[in-house]
Every structure is written in structure tokens, then in C-alpha cells.
Amino acid sequence: MIAHPFQYAAPDTLDAAFAMLAGRSDARVLGGGTVLVALMGLGDVQTSLVLDTRNLPLSGIQPRHDGVSIGAAASYNAIEGSPLVRDTAPLLAHVCRQITGGRQITNQATAGGAACYSNPASDIPACIVALNACMRLGSVAGVRAVPAAEFFTGAFKTDRRDDEMLLEIVVPASNWTRFGYIKQKHATSSWPIVTAACLADGEGNIRVAVGGAASRPYIVEILVREGELPSDSARRIGERAREMLTEPWSDALAPAQYRQRIVRPVVERAVKQALDGQPL
């Protein structure tokens, strides 16, 4: 039960939504509500305004000349089922397919909402950082674009201003031909502890985004110079991922030390999965 009183609005134009957010610091934008409503019920989030995105034109998934645009209010199911996403960013479709909670959650929850929540222990941040996605944010001041790698500024923190809302996640087309995704968690109901989203091109170039290990995702890459033959890349990337983790994240399910210990094998497995898998 949500104890505190608050205003609820479901505007049907972006301009109306921007106007409501303008000048406010404690409004909350509601995507699917699977996080926000639970936190309001626990009293962890108190807000004067809940702005529901349900009537806004934000749930579409559209082609862009340079990739695919995923509306901020598109559900995991919609993303996973989109042929466009499957073609352009199969890693994202794959990640959306294995969100914890089954259909009841994936029909309701949104990737955009998960991105804005910026929980280190979640799937979306590392996935879209790996994909080099771009976050488009809107407000009365206009629209601006922020690379995903800069959008996530810390645990439960993003570059989004209080008067802004996420409009879309743009995933660019790329030359990656393979992917791997490892989500390490304690049990089915657990949130992810460490995730590794890996992209590879079959020529030795490999890019991994590590989630959950630190308070924000970080990238580990091997880019091959001409003439160089990659060898033992999974182990090398895993090792580097561990070295780069200087301030591991900690939460109720796993201490920092645990994350420090498992980051190497998790990354290694994601790389192996990508390299061993069929090319796309």
C-alpha cells in the first residue's frame, strides 16, 4: 500500500508531459511500474507527482537510418518480439527474453524504465552500453542525446535531469556478428549479481560491457590491429575485467568481494559463448 498522497497524471502529449516536469524535482515517471510502484509501497520512494507514460507516443519500435529506436515505454516483450530488434540488436532481444519474472513482468516492465532506474544489479544498463546505444532525453528545454556509457553515472543515478524524461533508446547498426550474454544470479528469483554482455565480429574484435560488478557498467575491449592474431582472448578479457574492477558494488545479496571474485569467470564465459556461438 502506498501510504503517502501524490498526484497522478497521464498526459497524452510530450509537450504536456514536459510542462508537468518543468521546475519540479521530485516527480517520477512511470514506465511499467514494476519497480516504482513496489518502491512507493515500501515507502522508499516518495513523490508529489507520478507521470504515467501510458498515453504518450513512447512505446513504438522504429527503424532509424543508423539503427533502431526503442521507445522509452516499450515493454520487454515488445522489444524481444520485434523483428527489427532481432535483426539490428539480437543481444538486446536475447537479454529481454530472460528478464526475471516471466510474462507478467515482461509484458509490463520497460527497458527504458530499467535504464532510468540504473540499478547496478539489472540487465539493461550493461546491455545497452555494450551496444553503444544513445539515450534521447526530452524536456521543455528541448531534446538532447547522451551516449549510454555516459548516461549511467552511478548506482541508481543517471545523467537525466529531474525535469527530463527518457524518450527513446537508439541502438546503432553495427558490424558485430556474434554475441554472448551471461547473467550470474543466485537463484531464479534473484536479481542479477554480475552480467557480461559480449559482442564479437569473428575477426578478433571483442567488446564486453560488465554490469552489476561496479556501480555502473564498464567496457572491456580487444580491438585487433592489422596482422595481429588474437589468442586466448576470453582469458585476457576476463583478467582485464577483474583488474579494472577497483570499486566493486555491494548489495543485500552479494558483498563486493564476491563480485570481485566472479567477474573474471563471468566475462570469460560471455566471451566464449560469443566466440563459440554461430555467427549471426
Partner 1 sequence: MPISAEHKARKDASGSIPRIDAHRYVNGKPVYTADLLPLGCLHVALLRSPHPRAHIMRMDVTRAKAAPDVVAVVTATDLSDMAPIPAALPFRGDVQGRGAIMGRCLAGDEVCYIGQPVVAVVAGSVHAAQAALALIYVEYQPCPALLDFHEAQDEGAVAAHPGWTTNVVASDEIGRGDFDEACRMADVVVCGELDFAPSTTAPMEPCSFTGAWDASLERVSLIGTLQNPHTTRWMIATALRMPEAAVRVVAPPLGGSFGLKMAGHPEEVLVCALARHLKRPVNFTEERWETLLAPCRRQTHSFQIAATRDGRILGFADRFVADVGITGPGNGWSMPLVTAAVFPTVYDVEHCRISATLVATNSMPWQPIRGYGKEIGNAVMERAVDLLAARLALDPIALRRKNLISADAFPVKLASGLNLDSGDYATALKALIELFGYDAWRARQAEKKHSDKVIGIGIAFELTPEGGARPGAFPSGFETATVKLMPGGGVQVLVGVTSPGSGNETGIAQLVAAELGVDVKSIQVVQGDTDVTPVGTGHASSRAMLYGGTAAVLAARDLRAKILICAANILNRPIEGLHIEAGVIVDAGVRPQALTIVDVAHQAHTNPIIVAKGTELPLEATRSFQPINVSVVPDDKGRIATYSSFPYSVHAAAIELDRCTGSVKILDYACVHDCGVMINPMLVTGQLKGAIVMGIGAALWEELTYDAAGRPLSRRFKEYLLPRAIDLPDIRVGHMSTPSPYHPLGLKGAGESGVGGGLAVMLSAVADALGERRDALTRCPATPPTLLDAMA
> What is the smallest separation between the CB atom of 8 and partner 1, expressed in angstroms?
13
C-beta of 99 vs 169, nearer to partner 1: 99
Query: Which residues are CB-neighbours of 79 under 8 A, at least 6 positions away?
Result: 61, 70, 85, 92, 93, 96, 111
> What is the smallest separation between the CB atom of 123 and partner 1, expressed in angstroms?
14
Q: Cell numbers 555491494 correspond to what residue?
A: 250
C-alpha cell read off for 175:
558490424
Residue 168: CA atoms inside 13 Å, Cβ hemisphere, count?
A: 19
Binding mask 246-265 for partner 1 (x = CB under 8 A): ------xxxx-xx--xx-xx
C-beta of 2 vs 140, nearer to partner 1: 2
Using alpha carbons, select from 149, 73, 138 the residue that is nearest to residue 112: 73
C-beta of 19 vs 262, nearer to partner 1: 262
Near partner 1 by CB under 8 A: residue from 7, 15, 23, 41: 41
Asked whether position 2 contacts partner 1 by CB under 8 A, the answer is: yes
C-beta of 90 vs 265, nearer to partner 1: 265
Asked whether position 189 contacts partner 1 by CB under 8 A, the answer is: yes
Q: Which residues from 194-223 bind partner 1, rule CB under 8 A?
A: none
Near partner 1 by CB under 8 A: residue from 13, 23, 38, 276: 38
In our burial notation (b when 16+ CB lie closer than 10 A, e otherwise), range 55-86 reads ebebbebeeeeebbbbbbbbbbbbbbebebbb
Asked whether position 76 contacts partner 1 by CB under 8 A, the answer is: no
Binding site for partner 1 (CB under 8 A): 1-5, 38, 41-42, 184-191, 193, 252-255, 257-258, 261-262, 264-266
